[in-house]
Amino acid sequence: MIGWLRGELVARSAEGELIVDVGGVGYRLTVSPTLLAAVGDRGKPVELHVHTHVREDAIVLYGFATTEERRCFEALLGAHGVGPALALAVLSALRPADLIRAVLDEDLGALCTVPGVGRKTAARLVLDLRSRLELPAFAGDGVPGGQGSPSEARGEVRAALAELGYGPDEIRRALEAGQDDASVEELLRQALRELAGAR
């Protein structure tokens, strides 16, 4: 199984494929439109984190700029009804940190910015990804979800506000105004002030 490649860019196609020369062997990788636009010109060095996707009729390599993108892609593939094309579309619209924040905050609106994702699909993604995106492998990797992270504090405040009877939309709007580095107590005070002003 291939997990990482470093080589020279040979070609790229408008369909989202790169060919990378690694020691005289040309590897064909499917990448997101964002990464396709970001890679340099032909002959430039390229480093890619790789997911090897095995199907009955083919083995397809998917390339990513960071480990976090690859992990999110693999978590998305584990969600019900999500194939590689939709997983790439999600990562083209949302950075890994934004995807994790959307899942933890149950922000269906953010997920609905992905072409082909409606509210039902977004709600299912939130349910399917919640445990997958909080795996220990993400902790300390620069992606929200680890112990003591801003997302963990927001999760505690979200639960507390729900216990107080506030609805998901009210909670989401209140948390949008909170500072990312605030403690649970500070974030809760800020959210309650925001909610008091809105009512």
Give the residue-averaged pLDDT of 47-51. 94
- Label residue 7 by pLDDT band (50, 70, 90): very high
How many CB atoms within 10 Å of residue 142? 11
Q: Which two tokens stand for residue 23?
A: 């020691």
What's the distance, Cα to Cα, between the start and end of the chain in Å?
55
pLDDT for position 152: 64
Distance CA 83, CA 38 (A): 23
CA angle in degrees (0–180, nearest 5) for 67-69-72: 110
Q: Tell me if the pTM is above 0.75.
A: no
Give the C-alpha separation, 139 to 158, whole Å. Answer: 21
Asked if residue 180 lies in contact with residue 150, where contact means CB atoms within 8 angstroms, the answer is yes
Question: Do the beta carbons of residue 74 and residue 99 sit within 8 Å?
Answer: no
148-199 shares the fold of 67-144 = no
Q: Which fold has domain 67-144?
A: DNA polymerase; domain 1 (1.10.150)
pLDDT band at 198 (very low <50, low <70, confident <90, very high): low
The identity of residue 104, as a single letter, is: L
* CATH, domain range 148-199: 1.10.8.10
pLDDT band at residue 190 under the 50/70/90 scheme:
confident
Contacts of 195 (CB under 8 A, 6+ apart): 161, 166, 170, 174
β pairing state of 25-30 and 59-64:
parallel
Per-position DSSP letters for 14-34, written without gaps between them = TTSEEEEEETTEEEEEE--HH
- pLDDT at 84 exceeding the cut of 80: yes
Domain covering 4-65, topology? OB fold (Dihydrolipoamide Acetyltransferase, E2P) (2.40.50)
What is the model's pLDDT at position 91?
92
Bigger pLDDT: 101 vs 163: 101
Who wins on pLDDT, 186 or 60? 60
Average pLDDT, the chain: 82
- Residue 79 CA to residue 87 CA, distance in Å, equals 10
The top-scoring range by mean pLDDT among 38-42, 58-62, 195-199 is 58-62
CA atoms within 13 A on the CB side of 43: 0
Q: What angle do CA 184, 188, 194 make, to 5 degrees?
A: 145
Q: Which two tokens stand for residue 42?
A: 């032909």
At 144, the pLDDT band (50, 70, 90 cuts) reads very low
Domain spans of the chain, in order of start: 4-65, 67-144, 148-199
